[in-house]
Structure formats: structure tokens, C-alpha cells
A and B are shown apart, each in its own frame.
Chain A
């Protein structure tokens, strides 16, 4: 059974008096444990699709199901809880909270759980260890390089052990070396921990890391690569809710 099921999804925006149709009756499946790259020209609707999968936006019509849950019909409160348990989101501009340390930024999703302080500390250290920043726990974002910031953002996305990690142009602000580090990390998360990853990117190198590449153009998909999914391995024990 697919982890992400998109069925006949249409999305249109209204800008002033003009209606802009991003896509019309789009359908796709994403299997659990896969690493998928969404590519396409600017304005093709890649980020919009990512937002729909994350429940940050609602389709004009159609159905978005993730892990069997009908995301498109949830209330805002249900979506918030669902996101906190099932989705890790990484942005192009890192979006760390500048007033918090790396540790505190990564801890944010765990504040929504019933974990004790000690359990949270342990989880945060594991997540920062996975991204190779366990020596930067108490650094503020301004004290980190762009690549390190993005790795902290990835640690924040994985700390609650979500099923699905969504990344919107995660290497868009990084130099070549930092991009490679981040892509290698994403590959590890997919291969070693079995995380399902969907990445929106313009970067061919980033797309090449994915086993499956989908090109979105004029509202339709063109598939370019397909490979099997590795077996899932949980990062840590299940998060208490």
C-alpha cells in the first residue's frame, strides 16, 4: 500500500481577478521507504504539491491520503497533531529560530510530546549525532555555517521519528560541498533508517540521489527513474504521545 496517495487533485489560486490553475486532476503514489525527487520548472507546482502532502495547504478538489489518513479533510487542529507525529519538513532557508540554540531548535517537535526532559535530551542528542553535529549542541544558528544550519534543520525534521520527510529545495542555499554533505545525509536517512523522503529540487545532483525522479510540467508528471525501497529501521524507540 502506498504511503502517499494523491487522487484527482486540482489546485488553483486566485490572484486579483485572475484564476491560476496549478494542476488539474493530478494523481500519484509514493511507496513507503522511497526517496523521490520532484523536479520541474518554476511555477510548475512542486512546492504546492509538497505543501498539500504536508497538510499545510488544501487542494481545490481531490484527495490526499498519507499513511491511510485523509489529510485533505482534516481540521487545522487535527492537521497540527498529525504533522507533529508523521511529517518532518525542511525548508530551503533552513528556518531555524535564531533565538534558540541548535539543541533547542531540534527539541521543538518533542515539546509537543509527553516525553520527559531526560527522554527529550536523549532524542535530541541522537538526532544531532545522526547529522554529525553533536559537538554544536549549544551553538546559535548565527554561529553555524549554512550547511550546518541545514543539518540542524534536518535533525529537527527527524527527531520525532516521522514516517515522511519533506524537503523543499534543501540545497538551494548551500555551496557544493555542503550540498553534498546534506545529500549524503538524506541518502543515509533513506537507506539506513528507511525514511520516506520527498525532495523538491532544481539541482540535478540532488535529484540524482533520489531513486525516483518525477518531473512536474504543465500539471502532469513525467517519471524518470524508479528503484526499490530499503527496509525501514526506526531511528529510536517510538515517541510517546
Chain B
């Protein structure tokens, strides 16, 4: 492109200002991509869940347990094929600064219900055989540098005392919405050391057909309606979504902050472009004298705005994509599968185009409409 040297020269006239403007755009789009990825990750987590899995919790709330004796009665409900259960353990490792999720699960049935958790066959067997064994997420084992066969001690917060487990296997999620930053151990191990035995945190049921989910959920809740621990049953997706809604209307907040940042940067970029064009009033008049048409000057100024915003966008969006990917970021397990998606990059690119148009249109029109004689007279 033959106008490239002219474009580069104009951009290089005030290198610091050009670089700072590019950096502002890059930072704005990095923040935008990060905030939007929080939303998309939460949304993906809320949407995760097999259509053939139901979750039953205590109707009074997730913190209240259910009797483990419900398992047999649940299995007997028509349409229920498999039943498993789990308890939130809430243990801490080391100084406790690095949070990670840890659960007690009914190991055999739990792994049967979650084929999305890939475990090597020998490690699976080793875990099932060892009552004090633990299954560790692939990220977590890398993070702490644990090895299979090693003992790991957690300090109980809900269930007091030191709890030592032997790492027997590593699971790798085949679905990014599944947390790879968690530790699982045998519910039996928790139950035998617990003062209040025979309690499950929640139940998970595999059902025969997604079409039967409403009917089966109602049947389960009806079954325990008049018991001391009535249940609340819904799809796994609804159960996961309830966690996402615990964040409040975080999507609106994130979007509002993201747009505010982008708008602020729009003003910065527009101001920089206006200053740049105003400083070059004489040069623009000279170019018109040489024979550059109004349309060509309009295009050149828009191209400058585009070079700044598009470069900033590539840097900002690219940094967000590569940084989170390379560091395998998941906000300490709160945002599993945190990855800047294609649609987020596309929206970021569209924002960069809007930034280009909004910051470049006024100086470009001024350049195109510049009266040559008056411009030369005023500056000479």
C-alpha cells in the first residue's frame, strides 16, 4: 500500500501519544474481554449438566443435610436408574490461602454418574480400593506438585481435625465446565470419623429420559414431603445455575463496568485523534494543494484511527486470550473453563471498529472539509 509510509509517519509524529492511545485501547479491550469471560464462564457453568441427571437437596437449603438412608428409596422411584451422593467437606491445605473445592463422594456410584471425569483405569481401581484415597483434579495436582501415592493432609473446617488422604488418581474433565481444581475422597471415610454419621449433602440421580425429569422430580419431592428432611429436586442444570445466581446480577455489573471502560477509552482515543488532526491543519491543506481529494484525506485520517484502535484491539484481545490460556487461569476454582471465547473476541473486534469510527469520524470530516486557503492563511 503506497500510502503506508505517510500513515506510519503520521502515527510516528508523536510516538508516545500514539503508543499511549494504543495502550489505552488495548487495556480497555483486555478488561472488556476479561469481564465478559467471567460472564460467559458463569453462564457455561450454569448451563452445564446432563439432561439425564437430577439433583436433590434439603428443601431448607443446601447447608442442611439429608439422611443417607434416602438413597435406597430414591433408587426405587420409577425412572431413576442410578443414585449417588456427596458432601461438601470444606478442608484447607497448608496455610489455606489457596482455596480449592473438596468433596466426600460415594466413590463408585459418583464416578459411574460422571463419565465427563476421565480417570485412568488403574488409578480408578486404586482409588476405589483405598478407603482413605483421594482423586485429584489435574490442575490441582499440578499446582501443588503432588504425586500419586503421596499423602495429603487437609485441615477440616466443618469437620474438625486433620484429615490425611493418599493421592490415588488424577481426573481430567472432558467438559471444560467441570472443575479440574478439586479433591474428592470417600464418603465412607468422612462418615466413619464424623460425630453425626449417615448424612449426605445432596443426591444426584441418573434418570431414564430427560422427558421424565419433571415427573420424577415431583415424585421424589412428594416421597419426602412429610418427612423431617423434605427434598427439593431439580435438574442438574438448575442446581448449577443456582450457584451462578449466588453471584447476584454479576452479568449486568460486568457489562456496565466493561462498557464504561470502553466509553472512557473512546473519549481518550477521540481526543488524541482530534489533537493529531488539529496539529496537522497546515499539512492537510498542503496535501489538498498537491491534489489529495477530500475523500482521500477522509480515508487517510480514518485509516490512522483504524491503525491505532485495531492495533490496540489485537494487543488487548490477544493478550487476554493468550494470558488466560497459557496460565490456565480459573480464579482459584471459582471459574472453571475460564477462556476468552471466539464470540467474545468477535464482540471485542466490533467494539474496536466502533472505536475507530467514533474516534476518527470527526477529525476525518474536518480534514475533508478543510478550506485550503483559510487553513494556510491561519497558520502562516
Contact = CB atoms under 8 A, between A and B. Distances in A.
A69 interface: no
A56 B373 contact: yes
Interface stretch (A31-39, A84-92, A129-137, A201-209): A84-92
Interface string A36-54: 0000000000000001001
The bracket for how many chain B residues form the interface is 20 to 34
A77 interface: yes
A104 B5 contact: yes
A76 B294 CA distance: 8
Given A80-B294, A108-B290, A95 B282 contact: yes
A146 to B, nearest CB: 15
Contact of B293 (A54, A76, A108): A76
Interface in A12-45: none
Interface string B269-285: 00000000000001100
A229 interface: no
A84 B292 CA distance: 7
B286 A97 contact: yes
Interface stretch (A109-117, A183-191, A212-220): A109-117
B284 to A, nearest CB: 10
Interface stretch (B6-14, B122-130, B161-169, B305-313): B6-14
Nearest to A80: B293
A109 to B, nearest CB: 5
B3 A111 contact: yes
B291 A85 contact: yes
A89 B289 contact: yes
A60 interface: no
Interface string A72-105: 0000110011111101010111010111100010
Given A95-B282, A99-B10, A99-B12, A80 B5 contact: no
A125 interface: no
A156 interface: yes
B51 to A, nearest CB: 62
A94 B86 CA distance: 82
A57 interface: yes
A77 B290 contact: no
B223 interface: no
Contact of A54 (B10, B13, B283, B289): B289
Contacts of A111: 2-3, 6
Determine which residue in B282, B283, B290, B372 has the highest number of CB atoms from chain A within 10 A of its CB, and name it: B290
A104 B293 contact: no
Contacts of A93: 380
B9 A99 contact: yes
Given A56-B372, A57-B373, A92-B380, A100 B6 contact: yes
B73 interface: no
A99 B295 CA distance: 22
B67 to A, nearest CB: 80
Contacts of A77: 293-295
Contact of B291 (A84, A91, A104): A84
Contacts of B290: 83-84, 89, 108-109, 112, 156
B2 A117 contact: yes
A54 B380 CA distance: 18
A109 B5 contact: no
Contacts of A89: 289-290
Contact of A80 (B13, B292, B376): B292
Contacts of B295: 77
Contacts of B9: 97, 99-100, 104
Nearest to A94: B286
Contacts of B291: 80-85, 87, 109, 112
Interface in B329-380: 372-373, 376, 380
Interface of B: 2-3, 5-6, 9-10, 12-13, 282-283, 286-296, 372-373, 376, 380
16 contacts: A51-B373, A54-B289, A80-B292, A80-B296, A83-B289, A84-B292, A91-B286, A91-B380, A99-B10, A99-B12, A99-B13, A111-B3, A112-B290, A112-B292, A112-B296, A156-B290
